[in-house]
């Protein structure tokens, strides 16, 4: 077909300059395909410049096309007369009469010609934007310059040239993850705190690399002077700092590691500070309703306000939106949301110990988030309670509900997710009873190390994964404490419950054992086989090339650890295939905990601590995982993901 397939980028401002091609709104797959199939292929890092020059030579018009030379100071119309592909520069001449737009200065035709003469009429290809042409003859030239410009602005790093992994595919190792991260940030799929941390690390690493390069260039190779020796020591220190920054960048750039480990960067954020108790010492009941009837008010007084909040310390305040009510709360306040559909445009942060309860059934009290943001509901209060509310999420990056710290108790709530589900951060405590959660494109519930999570009688379904338990390579991370009783986890795309953990160092390394309270010890080997030991011996000789003695630590798994017995009735007998996942989850959690304890002891020995305090090393978990049902999950009831 004749004619251009690209859009026109209309000029904003000085109309004397012609329009250019609109190329900076390309989709992810368009850039991915261009770099993989045409520009870079399977080149090594050292071959990037040669492959790029070869690509440009094939697709760029060699001469006789007009472009805007765009800098921070001016945009000027020039004509390209030749291209130096290896140097990534074009030889240009000024189009007369002068067509130019300046920022903060005045330029004449004579001054511009003088500037071009100083640069030998050569300008970087990245600074050229092709003038729009409807014929389509310059589409490939415009796209090639866009790919070049984007690559050196967002993908290439100054230190890539010195990459020690030069034997590996540069596209797979660097281009693809950095490109994916750029679009994840562009499409608001990365928490704002993590984005800020990434760009901060990038700036610090660039500065450190420049300092290191200047120092290295100033050291003479054959000099043995004291000054050069000091500089070499300083250079080594700077190199180690730069490598540490590069490792952190790689964690955020890698999609998997960003998902598994990147939480540590952003886990301490808190949207607002707690107000504490009111100075007057009173408490407020915040009633939320857009409009209400007399009969609703009578019912509210008779069923809720009268019996529970008739004391002199309580006052009543009315609000039209849940967000306004929560924002007005102090320690100990109560928010009562009357039936209705409430739309909120920003996150709901709960920093104080308050109670939010719907006055009616969850389907009658609906709070829906319309705009994008890091999270929908964020709880950091010491003791927060939410009940009888339905939350509908749209475009929340960090989940429909994030318990960053403190304790949150949820009861009889409905959570309709669109992106991520409930997140329980390190040191946070979630109690979730009789709730219904569905629709998450990730895990329905994400449980982080060191957290406490109790789930009783919930339904978790139609998510990518049901429950995701995160374990990390750092041996100082403690295992989460988990109670799962009588939940129904069904119709999830992947596993009902999945444990994310690091790959073991050695396949011959055994996991530690547990005491199950049945007069037997069990040693769980990496392939999950179980060897029964006599309780009096506490160790087993494993036959092979030699004899291996395994000390058996005590890790208690209490199937009755719920403070109050959970009673429920069932009108039918659940088939065993729907409940067999309970034992598999318990065994894997205990085995992983024992493994981490062993690594901790080994680490302390390396540091010279020969007598470690058992309290410091304790990985005891209360785990009550029983009577959960797993139905129609795509990959089964339980699985592990090694990274």
Note the pLDDT tens digit of each residue in 11-67: 776 567 899 999 988 988 899 999 999 999 889 998 999 999 999 999 999 999 999
- Beta strands at 122-124 and 128-130: parallel, antiparallel or unpaired: unpaired
- Does residue 150 form part of some domain? yes
Query: How many Å apart are CA 463 and CA 494, to the nearest integer?
Result: 8
Q: What percent of the chain has pLDDT over 90?
A: 40
Q: What is the pLDDT of residue 12?
A: 72
pLDDT for 24 equals 87
Which residue, of 113, 140, 170, is where some domain finishes? 170
Of 465, 469, 473, which is closest to residue 482 (Cα–Cα)?
Answer: 469
**Cα gap 70→145, rounded to integer Å:** 13
Q: Which of 347, 332, 202, 164 is nearest to 270 (CA)?
A: 347
Residues 160, 48, single domain; the answer is yes
Same domain, yes or no: 237 and 161: no
| Residue 499 pLDDT class (50, 70, 90 cuts) | confident
Question: Structurally, how many domains does the chain consist of?
Answer: 2
Q: Are residues 151 and 256 both part of a single domain?
A: no
Q: Which of 83-97, 252-266, 347-361, 424-438 has the lowest mean pLDDT?
A: 252-266
Q: Are residues 211 and 255 in the same domain?
A: yes
Q: Comparing 362 with 597, which gets the higher pLDDT?
A: 362
| Residue 591 pLDDT class (50, 70, 90 cuts) | confident
**Phi, psi angle pair for 558, to nearest 5°:** -105, 110
- 162 and 29 in a single domain? The answer is yes
The answer on 204 and 145 residing in a single domain is no
In-domain check, residue 477: no
Stated as kind and residue range, the H or E segment containing 68 is strand 65-70
Q: Within a domain: residue 332?
A: no
d(CA 155, CA 348): 36
| pLDDT at 231 exceeding the cut of 70 | yes
432 lies in a domain? no
Residues 78 and 196 in one domain: no
Decide if 497 is inside a domain: no
Pair (129, 62) in one structural domain: yes
Q: Is residue 537 part of a domain?
A: no
Last residue of a domain, one of 232, 250, 266: 266
> Which pLDDT belongs to residue 374?
67
Kindly state whether residues 47 and 166 are assigned to the same domain. Answer: yes
| Within-domain flag for 563 | no
Question: Each residue of 316-337: pLDDT tens digit?
Answer: 999 999 999 999 999 999 999 9
CA angle 609, 612, 614 (to 5 degrees): 165
Last residue of a domain, one of 139, 170, 201: 170
**pLDDT score recorded for residue 599:** 66
Q: Which residues make Cβ contacts (< 8 Å) with residue 288, sequence separation at least 6?
A: 318, 319, 320, 321, 322, 324, 325, 335, 336, 337, 338, 342
- The verdict on 119 and 220 lying in the same domain is no
Three-state SS at 42: coil
Domain membership of residue 243 (yes or no) is: yes
Residues 165 and 216 in one domain: no
Domain, as residue range, for 207 = 190-266
For residues 277-304, give the mean pLDDT.
88
Model pLDDT, residue 515:
35
Beta bridge partners of 93: 79
For residues 255 and 163, membership in a common domain is answered with no
């Amino acid at each position: 077909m004749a004619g251009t397939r690209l859009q026109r980028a209309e000029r904003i401002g000085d109309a004397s300059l012609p329009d250019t091609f609109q190329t900076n709104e390309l989709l992810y797959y368009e850039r991915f395909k261009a770099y993989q199939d045409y520009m870079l292929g399977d080149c090594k890092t050292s071959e990037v410049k040669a492959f790029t020059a070869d690509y440009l030579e094939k697709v760029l018009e060699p001469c006789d096309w007009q472009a805007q030379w765009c800098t921070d100071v001016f945009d000027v119309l020039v004509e390209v007369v030749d291209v130096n592909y290896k140097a990534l520069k074009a030889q240009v001449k000024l189009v007369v009469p002068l067509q130019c737009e300046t920022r903060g200065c005045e330029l004449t035709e004579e001054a511009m010609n003088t500037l071009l003469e100083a640069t030998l009429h050569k300008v970087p290809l990245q600074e050229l934007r092709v003038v729009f042409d409807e014929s389509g003859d310059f589409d490939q030239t415009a796209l090639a310059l866009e790919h070049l410009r984007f690559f050196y602005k967002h993908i290439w790093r100054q230190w890539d040239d010195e990459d020690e992994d030069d034997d590996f595919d540069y596209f797979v190792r660097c281009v693809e993850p950095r490109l994916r991260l750029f679009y994840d940030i562009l499409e608001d799929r990365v928490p704002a705190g993590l984005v800020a941390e990434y760009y901060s690390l990038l700036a610090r690493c660039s500065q450190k690399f420049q300092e290191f390069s200047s120092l290295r260039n100033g050291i003479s190779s054959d000099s043995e002077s004291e000054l050069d020796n000091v500089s070499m020591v300083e250079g080594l220190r700077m190199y180690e700092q730069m490598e540490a920054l590069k490792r952190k960048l790689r964690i955020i750039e890698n999609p998997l590691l960003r998902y598994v480990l990147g939480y540590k960067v952003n886990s301490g954020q808190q949207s607002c500070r707690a107000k504490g108790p009111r100075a007057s010492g009173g408490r407020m009941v915040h009633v939320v309703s857009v409009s209400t009837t007399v009969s609703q008010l009578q019912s509210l007084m008779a069923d809720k306000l009268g019996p529970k909040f008739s004391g002199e310390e309580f006052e009543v305040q009315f609000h039209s939106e849940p967000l306004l009510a929560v924002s007005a709360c102090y320690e100990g306040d109560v928010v009562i949301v009357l039936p209705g559909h409430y739309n909120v445009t920003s996150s709901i942060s709960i920093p104080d110990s308050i109670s939010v309860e719907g006055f009616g059934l969850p389907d009658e009290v609906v709070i829906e988030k319309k705009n994008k943001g890091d999270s929908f509901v964020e709880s950091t209060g010491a003791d927060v309670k939410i009940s009888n509310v339905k939350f509908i999420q749209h475009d929340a990056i960090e989940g429909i509900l994030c318990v960053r710290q403190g304790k949150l108790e949820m009861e009889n709530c409905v959570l309709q997710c669109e992106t991520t589900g409930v997140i329980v951060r390190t040191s946070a405590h979630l109690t979730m009873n009789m709730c219904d959660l569905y629709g998450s494109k990730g895990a329905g519930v994400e449980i982080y190390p060191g957290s406490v999570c109790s789930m009783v009688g919930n339904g978790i379904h139609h998510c990518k994964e049901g429950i995701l338990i995160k374990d990390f390579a750092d041996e100082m991370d403690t295992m989460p404490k988990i109670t799962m009783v009588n939940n129904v986890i069904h119709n999830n795309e992947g596993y009902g419950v999945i444990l994310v953990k690091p790959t073991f160092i050695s396949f011959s390394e055994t996991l530690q054992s547990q005491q199950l309270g049945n007069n037997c010890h069990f040693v769980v080997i990496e392939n999950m086989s179980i060897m029964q030991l006599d309780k009096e011996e506490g160790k087993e000789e494993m036959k092979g090339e030699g004899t291996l003695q395994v000390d058996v630590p005590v890790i208690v798994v209490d199937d009755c650890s719920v403070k109050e017995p959970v009673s429920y009735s069932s009108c039918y007998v659940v088939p065993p295939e729907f409940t067999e996942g309970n034992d598999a989850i318990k065994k894997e959690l205990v085995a992983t905990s024992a493994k981490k304890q062993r690594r901790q002891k080994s680490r302390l020995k390396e540091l010279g601590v020969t007598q470690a305090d058992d309290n410091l090393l304790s990985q005891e978990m209360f785990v009550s995982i029983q009577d959960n049902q797993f139905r129609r999950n795509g990959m089964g009831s339980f699985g592990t993901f090694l990274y």
